Amino acid sequence: MKNRILIILLCGAVMAVSCKKAGNYKALNASSSDSALVAADSVSPQQAKLVKTADMHFKVKNVEQTSENITGLTTKYNGMVMHHDMTASDEQTSDTRLNNDSVMRVSRFNTNATMTVKIPSEKIEEFLDVVSHMSIYVNVRRMDIEDKSLDYLSSQMKLNSRKELVSQQKAGRVVFKNPDAVLDLKDGLVDEQINNRKIDDAVKYSVINLDFYQSNTISKEIIVNDDPDTYKLPFGNTLLIAFGDGWSLFKELVILLANIWVLIIAAIGVWVAVRWYKQKNTKLHLPL
């Protein structure tokens, strides 16, 4: 009987310990779940992560002046010009000769510009309205809103989970056998923080892409005639110069002949000797 009572008491103690451990396990899981869900309360409906972007394509009277006005307007709204590119393309050019030295060049240009600006999100529609008033007419005006709340919440929850794991690792409750795992965990912390900062920046400042152009313009300018053929002398002057060059060449030839008179005499002598020799041979072979 005593043995039975002892066995019953032992079984009861084991069950009590098991229940206590199970309760602790549930408490640990509940604690981990609560810490992982802390980020869920950090994004309230009033803190929705709405990212606004806009595009506008329009025609203006003067591209250069409009670019300066948009830059000033961006500064006024505490924004920033992220990109600015202005291009003037020469579509057609014609030259009209005015005289031997000058040419009037008439060119047709097509001028356009692109700008990317960042504006505080609460001012985006007001900014677009002001820019619209700078245009002759607007070809395209578009604004998009993307809700990044869930992406932000996902990154925040991952960030909290990693922070908790790092805290446990520092406290010695979690041991990583591979040092690279610790580096990967810390790199993940950095990536999630940077990702959320990018979302916060995109929510605070909206990106607007502007593309504008003007009517073709005509440019007239007097330039130097760069065609060498137009600078040739008239025929009469060229003929006189040719006569002078011919007389110079003749004098040089006479001087050359005077320098080689010995060679000339020697050549004449050789020629006479050859002719005499040929004539002599011809007489010897004549039939009797």
- The pLDDT of 222-242, averaged and rounded, is 72
pLDDT digit string, tens, across residues 3-16: 454 444 444 444 44
Using pLDDT thresholds of 50, 70 and 90, give the confidence band for residue 207: very high
Say what the pLDDT of residue 102 is.
83
- Cβ contacts of residue 149 below 8 Å, gap of 6+? 43, 47, 48, 49, 50
- Region 229-250: mean pLDDT is 74
Task: Please state, as a whole number, how many other Cβ atoms lie within 10 Å of the Cβ of residue 180.
Answer: 8
Contact present, 217 and 111 (Cβ < 8 Å) = yes
Q: What is the pLDDT of residue 186?
A: 74
Domain of residue 120, residue span: 58-228
Of 26-30, 44-48, 90-94, 178-182, the range with the lowest mean pLDDT is 26-30
Report the share of the chain in percent with pLDDT over 90.
Answer: 32
Residue 45 falls inside a structural domain: no
* Portion of the chain with pLDDT greater than 70, in percent: 75
| pLDDT score, position 65 | 95
In a domain, residue 183? The reply is yes
How far apart CA 74 and CA 119 sit, in angstroms, is 7
Residue 36 predicted with pLDDT over 60: no
Higher-pLDDT residue of 209, 287? 209
Give me the number of domains the chain comprises.
1
pLDDT of residue 156: 84
Crossing angle of helices 2-36 and 149-171, in 10° steps, is 130
- In order of 19, 43, 154, 199, the CA distances from 163 in angstroms are 30, 18, 14, 20
Q: Rounded mean pLDDT of the chain?
A: 78
Residue 132 maps to a domain: yes
pLDDT tens digits for range 70-124: 999 999 999 999 999 999 888 788 888 877 778 888 888 899 999 999 999 999 9
Give pLDDT, residue 224.
Answer: 80
Residue 96 is predicted with a pLDDT of: 80
Asked whether residue 275 is assigned to any structural domain, the reply reads: no
Q: What is the pLDDT of residue 230?
A: 66
- Model pLDDT, residue 179: 67
Residue 180 resides in a domain: yes
Is 257 domain-assigned?
A: no
Asked if residue 97 lies in contact with residue 27, where contact means CB atoms within 8 angstroms, the answer is no
What local confidence, expressed as pLDDT, does residue 87 receive? 92
